[in-house]
Copies of this chain bind each other. A is one copy, B any other.
């Protein structure tokens, strides 16, 4: 039995490993279009910042590790077409047959409609940051050319992490975001403002509500003009405005598209084409609270979907449990995290949401170093169910795992009131008898 996997990032690698783990007799081949199998794309900002000096360390596992696990890697070989009837994949180097196929083609950077963007590339100092090749190009420029000033277009998590990373290298950084807040897809404006304020206090200029109209060369520099006519110049421009699923190979083979134009899959990651699975940033994602598929490309999800695809391709029957949109970002010394639905998303989905906005210390105030955590908790008035939460606080305040506590509760359909019933741990240096989360939940329960 031969499993062919297209793609060497999170979903593809996980699928290959899961298949081998399920059926050690399976032959597994991975087509990796570049030379960088199993690289942590989420780690790129920390290589740019200097925290991870050697880019090779960004690999979750080395190519040798993967080979030792029984995966055959075909590096630098790109799939160009799938023939599902013949169970064959054409590549730029030949043809490969398969018994089972996993498509893990990932996503592509979204290119916003900015005049001049198509003409300017990394050679001119206009960079994207989606692959290791993008990263090495950016690092080469940072090492060899002046990059005292940088404009980042897009204030999603990569934009903010790169603002920190480039500041750490000494650059003056300006972030332009077309929405009226940073992290517009993940955080309510009230909490986004706290991240923007952290960025401002570190010398990063954040301009929200600024849609970029054009980029042009201006001598050795680049000029970025927003729709309000304001013109800014910088040595380097980074365009990080999100991604879209890479679906061409799948649709070329006859796969259907689902949510937000991502490849349609069921919860066993089956595409509908015979013995063809797909996983990761190229596919739609089942959302547990919404009970339907959405597009929410994240590394954690790609790993989980890859595991399902790999196991099921090897004869297993694992079902993808679905996501809640849990995420966390560190911006300098602040951490923001979210899970579940925001108030407006919940209302749109037919819930009757109400949100409380509270502040509680991460641990007992009498013990040194206590810091406030801002918590927004969204519950359903009709059922009492917890729908979502957002937290912002200081690094070290266990923000990430606190959101995980709520994600675990929501996974099980917890009510807001029940959060206060949880038997959570307590010691004065690390918490309170009623944890910050429970204080917020009790606040919600008192009101509704």
Contact = CB atoms under 8 A, between A and B. Distances in A.
Interface of A: 10, 21, 40, 42-43, 46, 51-52, 57-58, 60, 157, 288, 298-304, 321-330, 335, 337, 339, 364-368, 396, 398, 400-405, 407-409, 411-412, 414, 418, 420-431, 433-435, 446
A446 B24 CA distance: 13
B427 A329 contact: yes
Q: Taking each of A298, A366, A420, which has the highest tally of chain B beta carbons within 10 Å of its own beta carbon?
A: A366
Query: What is the count of identical protomers in the complex?
Result: 2
Nearest to A330: B429
A405 B426 CA distance: 13
Contact of A303 (B324, B327, B368, B434): B434
B366 A57 contact: yes
26 contacts: A21-B446, A43-B364, A43-B428, A46-B367, A60-B433, A288-B423, A298-B426, A300-B423, A300-B424, A303-B433, A304-B420, A321-B418, A321-B423, A322-B423, A327-B427, A328-B425, A328-B427, A396-B396, A398-B398, A401-B405, A407-B423, A408-B409, A408-B422, A408-B424, A411-B421, A412-B412
Contact of A402 (B301, B302, B401): B401
Given A57-B366, A424-B300, A400 B398 contact: yes
Given A412-B412, A418-B321, A407 B430 contact: no
Given A335-B430, A367-B51, A412-B412, A403 B423 contact: no
A394 to B, nearest CB: 12
A427 B42 contact: yes
Contacts of A322: 423
Nearest to A434: B303
Contacts of A10: 433
Nearest to A410: B423
Nearest to A402: B401
Contacts of A400: 398, 401, 425, 427, 430-431
Given A52-B367, A402-B401, A446-B21, A339 B425 contact: yes
Given A304-B421, A412-B412, 8 more contacts: A40-B428, A324-B423, A326-B423, A400-B430, A401-B401, A401-B404, A407-B422, A408-B422
A396 B426 CA distance: 15
A433 B414 CA distance: 24
Q: Taking each of A57, A339, A424, which has the highest tally of chain B beta carbons within 10 Å of its own beta carbon?
A: A424
Contacts of A364: 40, 43
B433 A299 contact: yes
A250 to B, nearest CB: 23
A335 B365 CA distance: 19
A425 B367 contact: no
Contacts of A431: 328, 400
A330 B412 CA distance: 30
Q: Taking each of A298, A304, A420, A435, which has the highest tally of chain B beta carbons within 10 Å of its own beta carbon?
A: A304
A399 to B, nearest CB: 8
A365 B328 CA distance: 18
Contact of A366 (B43, B324, B412, B433): B43
Q: Taking each of A60, A322, A414, which has the highest tally of chain B beta carbons within 10 Å of its own beta carbon?
A: A60
A51 B364 CA distance: 12
Contacts of A446: 21
